[in-house]
């Protein structure tokens, strides 16, 4: 496979100043709820564990988790999304503002804010319950108008697609952003990637990549398939996150690989959010591609060691980068 120059010098450089990075995150937000308890007996009603709930937590999920990850690194972040007129929507807005994210939530009274409820006992997830429905056309059009109005304020736009309907107009948004010379980052979803045409980079994981291009037998076949997809969508780059195999970046100039960081994996949920948020902040600050994916890979290695959707703080990232020199 073709390869790019060594990344050793870039890898050891200190993090820059991200305070001037202005990032707009657009996409599907959700509230992640966790119920923790003890499961010490089986129900007499059915062969299922009985969980006695002892405590609960709430965290921002989806595009909201992407936004908080970018803000945790020190970037100036705004979040444009849809919620219902309900308690989870209010809770989500409050949490985001507490974490320094400017929120522009369009309220759709016809829907409920997306909620993912997880029941956890003895550090194992026993059940997940999802509450969601499709947003209405009028609110989606209002969101598109707001996007066009606010676009000049930002250096880069990040679309976080969780397939909940909030990015119905993503093609139009990409065209507007690219016409304004903005960097465009996309965490994709679904089977039709043509809607992402013209973006700077998309970041599918291995399973999502296989869904689009089919399986591959070796690295050379992956590179051919990735290059064909990138060229058909007119992307600057394609980054495939590959879990224990690390990540691979495919560009015109060649292919770069980052090995997975050797850490104990506790929970991979939200790791993709951390990768794309870190990548966007790094590139928007002027970092090279090699430096950006190295730092994003280190950030992902940190969050998989945490339970549920989590952030990698700048302090944690600097410590990890320093240890890896």
Q: Which residues are catalytic?
A: 273
Q: Of 249, 243, 195, which Cα lies nearest the Cα of 227?
A: 249
Three-state secondary structure of 111-154: CCCCEEEEEEECCEEEEEEEECCCCCHHHHHHHHHHHHHHHHHC
Instruction: Return d(Cα 83, Cα 30) in angstroms, integer.
Output: 8
* Residue 192 CB burial class (10 angstroms; 0-12, 13-18, ≥19): exposed
Q: What angle do CA 305, 324, 320 make, to 5 degrees?
A: 40
- H-state helical runs in the chain: 8-12, 63-72, 87-98, 137-150, 170-179, 206-213, 219-233, 271-284, 289-303, 314-323
CB 199 within 8 A of CB 235: yes
CB 142 within 8 A of CB 169: no
Distances (CA, A) of 113 to 29, 98, 110, 131, 182: 8, 19, 10, 8, 29
> Helix count (H) and strand count (E) of the chain?
10, 13
């Amino acid at each position: 496979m073709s390869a790019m120059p060594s990344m050793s010098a870039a890898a050891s450089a200190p993090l820059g100043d991200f305070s001037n990075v202005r990032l707009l995150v657009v996409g599907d937000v959700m509230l992640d709820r966790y119920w923790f308890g003890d499961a010490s007996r089986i129900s007499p009603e059915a062969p299922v564990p009985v969980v006695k709930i002892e405590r609960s937590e709430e965290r921002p999920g989806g595009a909201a988790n992407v936004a908080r990850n970018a803000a945790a690194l020190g970037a100036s972040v705004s979040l444009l999304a849809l919620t219902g007129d309900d308690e989870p929507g209010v809770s989500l807005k409050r949490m985001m503002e507490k974490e320094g994210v400017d929120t522009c939530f369009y309220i759709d009274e016809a829907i409920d804010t997306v909620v993912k409820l997880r029941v956890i006992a003895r550090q194992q997830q026993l059940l997940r319950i999802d509450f969601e429905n499709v947003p209405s056309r009028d609110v989606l059009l209002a969101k598109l108008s707001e996007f066009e109005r606010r676009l000049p304020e930002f250096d880069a736009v990040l679309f976080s697609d969780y397939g909940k309907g909030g990015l119905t107009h993503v093609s139009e948004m990409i065209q507007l952003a690219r016409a304004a010379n903005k960097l465009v980052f996309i965490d994709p979803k679904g089977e039709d990637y043509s809607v992402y045409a013209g973006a700077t980079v998309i970041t599918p994981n291995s399973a999502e990549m296989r869904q689009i291009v089919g399986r591959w037998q070796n690295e050379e076949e992956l590179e051919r398939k990735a290059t064909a997809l990138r060229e058909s969508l007119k992307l600057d780059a394609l980054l495939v996150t590959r879990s224990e195999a690390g990540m691979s970046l495919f560009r015109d100039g060649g292919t770069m690989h980052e090995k997975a960081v050797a850490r104990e994996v506790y929970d991979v949920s939200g790791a993709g959010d951390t990768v794309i948020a870190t990548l966007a902040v790094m590139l928007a600050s002027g970092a090279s591609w090699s430096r950006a994916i190295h730092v994003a890979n280190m950030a992902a290695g940190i969050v998989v060691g945490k339970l549920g959707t989590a952030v990698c703080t700048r302090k944690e990232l600097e410590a990890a980068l320093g240890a890896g020199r």
